[in-house]
Amino acid sequence: MLIERDPNGDFILDSSELAERFGLSLADLRRHMRHGSLVSTVEIGTAEHEGTKRVSLRLGNRLWRAVLNDANEVQHEQMTVLRGKSSERNPG
């Protein structure tokens, strides 16, 4: 996946590739984006991870993460399905 940065430093990801990773049509991904249900975060590496960034996108229980090098090239990516929190029942 090609990840670019705009003049403000924001990351730009290809919508069609993201839709594929989430198993959605492009129209469905864009609908989620318009409704704010696709949430993104960027973490900047420090110490031994200096020069790397981790981009995370969450949609419902699905989390896609990519680790970028200092040239913003994807070094590793992973899709995870998050499990819901189990509620503990009080037996008495």
User: Could you tell me the mean pLDDT of each successive run of 10 residues in the chain, 92 residues long?
Assistant: 89 94 96 96 94 96 95 94 68 50
In this structure, are residues 43 and 54 in contact, taking their beta carbons and an 8 Å threshold?
yes
User: What span, in angstroms and rounded, lies between the C-alpha atoms of 19 and 25?
Assistant: 6
Q: What is the model's pLDDT at position 89?
A: 53
String of DSSP letters for 17-42: HHHHHHT--HHHHHHHHHTT-EEEEE
pTM across the whole model:
0.82
The answer for residues whose C-beta is within 8 angstroms of residue 32's C-beta and 6 or more apart is 24, 38, 59
pLDDT at 87: 54
